[in-house]
Structure 1
Amino acid sequence: MRNMKRYIGVLLFLLVFFPSCEEKDNLIEEGYLYVSTTKDLDVITRSEADVEPVSVAICKAATGDTVKFFENYDKDLGAKGKVQLPVGLYHVKAGTKYAGKAAFDKPYYFGVDTIEVVKATMKEAEVVCTLANVKVTVKYSDLLKKFFTGYKVTVGNASGELIFDEEEVRAGYFTPSKLNVTLNLVNNDGTAYKIVKELPNVKAREHYRLNFSIGEEPDSPEAGGDFDITVDEETNDIECTLKIPVFEDDFGRNMPKIVTTPDGELNIKETNPANTQLSSAITSKNGLQLLALKLVSTYFNETEGLPAYIDLMKMDDNVRSRLSGLGISIPQLAEAAIETNLDFSGLLSKLPLKDGKKTSHSITVIARDKLGQQVEDTVLIEVRPNVAVETTVGVWSTFVYLSATAGTNENIAVYYKKQDDESWMMAPLTPSDIKETADGDYIFSVKIKDLIKNTAYSYKVIADRDEQEGSFQTGDEAQIPYSNFDSWYTKSKAQYVGTESNHLWDSGNEGGASFGFVPTTEETTDVIKGSAAKLASTYAVVKFAAGNLYTGDFVELYQTTQARLDFGIPYSCKPTALKGYYKYSPGTIDKGSYLNLNGTVDSCHIYIALCDWTKPFRVETGSQTFVDLSVDNKSIIAFGELKTNKKMEKYEQFRIDLEYRDKYRQPTYILVVASASKYGDYFTGSTSSVLLIDEFELLFDDPQDKIK
């Protein structure tokens, strides 16, 4: 059956001229072309042949212009279809869809014929679409399977590569050019190696049947081999048998060796300041048949214009000179050399960054001996900016956050200890904590807990070969004086929290007292403990005044009813929360026009902010200059607040967690504000709203979810 020529029809062209009344008036003489399609299946199976439809293009012979095109001949035209054409000479091209890439079970057929369309004449022409690919199939013998635990073949050329693994039975199709065949083997003892062969001068319609066998059962499982090729010229079937002489010691056992130092991956800084060396020592007992380099990166292939593959035993002086200029030292290599050394050290100081970001480069050394046994060794080189490890420490009283930037993500670790201790402790750090930046650096942050307040510690951060040491002092845990509201004094008819000599809390009392009212007063009856602060909103003279209390100072009245206040007092600790007790009785808003809130229930507001101000914040009610509490205000390091319009029959405890907007800056000021009317700054609220507060306290615990 193999030598029997099979057809699925014949491409026939019947050229007939049928004159009509309409055509008598047409100056262009025309004829008719009848088309049917077929394929020649000499080197394929029937199932493969039926996969792709045939397209037909009719082109002018003189210009090559396509005048008719049928993407699917059977569907679009059919065997009885006719094509009307002006008389003239045409090329009729027929073929299956062509992607140009190597593929399994995707043969490509093509045929062309030249036909002359003439008046009043019928001609018959035949175009046979023949296989335009090279066909490859692979078969492994049972004996080979017995002596090898792993085996697969890679076949490729300019059209691509296909891998025929142990179970692959499909045919592969390639463009007609030299085929490279690589047999990958794993012996029963676990030794892995390759045998590489070339099939030159392959042609379309040739079917290469690659058979891999060891011929006879051997005494030893070592292997290598060579192809025995037999050509059946009548059918273009080519039997290629690789008989692996596993009983010969040199095959499989004495393969070439490549020792690259250092091996695997190499991470260096720009200009290689550490003067890292890179070299490959190659040895081959059976002599070298091939020694080659694969250089893959934008720098190698685009900037320097080097080919991705360089045969070092056949390269010309120009390529040798270019490699030398890049710092790659290549010795003169003789055929069958048994050892040599390649030195890439000079290259490492020349590999550049790209736009200041890291670059990656791949160097593969390929060695093949005279028996066709091939080994490869690849080193990946990553070049990063000359960025030393840079660290930042955010300090609380019993824990710290340590953030670092490094030029690598290799061998990263963080250690710490009390300065008077000898042994280091490792901080918890997982791979997910390490993030790559847009600049190609790596940042990571670690939290070190269970520290002792007011204590000196040392730390060191290691990233690959870079190391940075430093120290930090854990913080204190200071309270705001008089925040239990038990101490009060009176001055000029106004009451104040604390003592006159240590004035840290203030309110609107100083401005109100001049008009005969004080909105914030000491509460001695309805308290949690000792005394409390009573903040009662009221209206006096011409302005609404909210009951309020804040850390800072009332500066002055101006323009009769406007006030200047200094918000905040110096403070350098980092608490995590403010807790205390409050009791609120809201009224209905009856004063002010801010946000058209009249008739709605008033609400109270308690908030705390840690800031890095250089001086207190000057509030001016006349110009409505108030502290911007939004996240856009970068001077606020941490913030927390409580707002409610709930009427309360008794005191309730509250906790306001501080959400740190920046872990690493230290505060210089603390601002705590309580107001019976949230919009009192805008002179809007209820004259019957009363807020009682007592026993404020700063906390220094460790709320995991509030420090971001």
Structure 2
Amino acid sequence: MRHTLLYVISGCLCLLGCRQEDSFLSNAGRVKIDFGVDDEVAVVASRSTLSDEESNALRENCKIRIFNNGKLVNRYGRWSEVPEDGILMPVGDKYSTLVVAGDSVPASFEDKYYKGTESFSVVKGQTKEVNVNCNIVNTLVKIEYSQEWNNLLEEAKVTVSVEGGSLEYPMAEEAKTGYFIAPEKNPVIKCLFSGKTKTGTDFSYENIIESVKEATLYTVTYSPSEGEPVPGNYGGGFFELIVDETPLGDPISETVKVYQRPVVSATNGSEKIDLSADMFVATGATMSPVFTFSGSTPLKTVIVESELLTGLGLNSNSLDIISEQQQFKDKGLNVVITEDKKNVRLEFGDKLNSYFIKESSYSMKFTATDTYDEIQEGATAKTREIVWNIIVSDANITSINIPEDRRYEIWSDKAVFYGQNLEGKTPTETLYFRYREKDTETWSEYIPAVTDDNYYKTAQITGLKPGTTYQYQMVEGTKVSNVISEVTTDAVHILDNYSFEDVSYEGKILRISKDPSNYWWDSGNEGSATMSVNVTSVDTSIKHSGNQSLYLKSQFVGVLGIGKFAAGNLFVGEFLGTEETYYGILGWGRPFETRPYALKAWVKYTPGTVDYTETDKISKGDLDIGKIYIAVGDWVGDDPSYPQWPVVVRTLGPKLFDPNSSGTIGYGEIEFTETLQASDGGMVEVEIPINYENYGGFNRVPKSIIIVATASKYGDYYSGSTSSAMWLDDMELVYEESKLSK
């Protein structure tokens, strides 16, 4: 099934009386467009020239957009679509063209992406040749290793990543160049240097290059540091990193020193402690943890916060190791600080073992701050914060927070609780869970645990409150684990301007927002308003609450019988523009990460008899049909001109929304095939259930929401009745199954 709406703008009316070719040519010219790839780009990309095969492939994989005064007026999906004798266009001097070629993948060793723009004018009766020079858009990254590593490292690689993709550069392979596209809102490249030393020690350190630029080659060189060439207890201080930033085609380069945030690591004897996870120790266990803090610049402070410190005889539960090192030493905790203050080590010895006698849990927070702000003008100091939790237990099992890859099991009114065996332990009695709302005293009855992969879990716990944190524990027989885990149910999402009380005008265009430059809902008004027609407006005479409702009125937009039928409409997103004069381009979907059960709305609908039709889906004389639908999903934008929008609808073609696309995880709709109103002529509440079962929504979490309402279902085919109207008020998402009416 396909859905969208028709949006008509008055640009089509500018050509009134000029439909015949002869009359059009009296005020038009032709444009021939060609493009090429800059040779210097190919050289920097380690390719002296592009082969004929590559050039032809680029041409067939290119896209051409033509704009007039900033508005899209023409588009071609490949070079073969462009007319050989030129594009016939109205006279004007504010034209521009955009050509993109290649593949815009986030990361690749092969695929490159080119872009070029050129302004031009169209002269009456003449043919204008426009040559567009396309330059590479990618950020290029080349990784180089110092030969000294061959004597120090058994194996190593650098994983370079941007949001959406990554490439690996093994040290053992020949250096090669990768092509990346970093998002405009997150222009960051991450370099993860990892491997194993000749002595068998694993290492892994991440550095970040911020504010990376397009059409720029970054040569990243890793070299061993003097004096500490092998990673060990000194964190990230064993290598130096130099980044050479070279604009493509520009011989000038800039060397940038990359400083990483301080590194915090820990060991117990020869074993590394994973500080990102809770540490479970059995009652009576012994350990001698050593914590190491290192920075690319001297460390300013290393703060330790824990309820254990005063128990160890220190005078506060929050102390700076650097300034208070003597106090730590006086209490039997060894502190080692290197002369350059880039490395600090705290050795607990056996001082913590007295806390492992009985079941309990403890926490330590470490905050290391460097002096980057003192050596880099305008910079701020870099900080690393780590919280280490220790759970002392003689139980065999423990509850755990819901694994991230099972986040989909959390809803607004239900969730699943998780647990697992403690390392080396095997339960011998029946396993249960119990739970309670946080900050309350009473636990629930025991709930049986079931086995799922390497986890224990409950069946789905229903009847929970939205946006509420719950605590839970595992139970073996009658013995309750001392570990308490938490889960927070999804909060209720209230739709922006849900009762449509806030409206404003941007010129003639009605915006469904107080601020006409910032709106969540939109409609086709941007096109029709230029003819002083707002297909979506407000009505103060019919409403459910407040001062007004939203009024969707299908209409013919044009003069002297020339124009198009336009459906009264509303959607979540933004009217982006037009192409080929009057075909609308719409961006659909706003950020959204919860799963409601239904959409409720107050509606009045009066259908008219169809008087315009350009499709066999509905005929003149039929009764028009109104429609509202909602979808949630994890769609990924695939429109090259508007990749930031989850779904882009184009009425040219048309390219319409398909609820059965792979990105949909929940969908619901309602159609109005007859008049809908209360006995007094007012509004009626309708409920639209959202179907997740048929769309994979039980094991996926959405990223976007789409809501669409139209007074004429087939408006996307220019078909419907100019007498059809829909009133909308008080839209609400339902998040608790108990509140559904059916």
Specify if TM > 0.5: no
TM-score by length of 2: 0.37
For CA contacts below 8 A with separation 6 or more, give which structure has more relative contact order. Answer: 2
TM-score by length of 1: 0.39
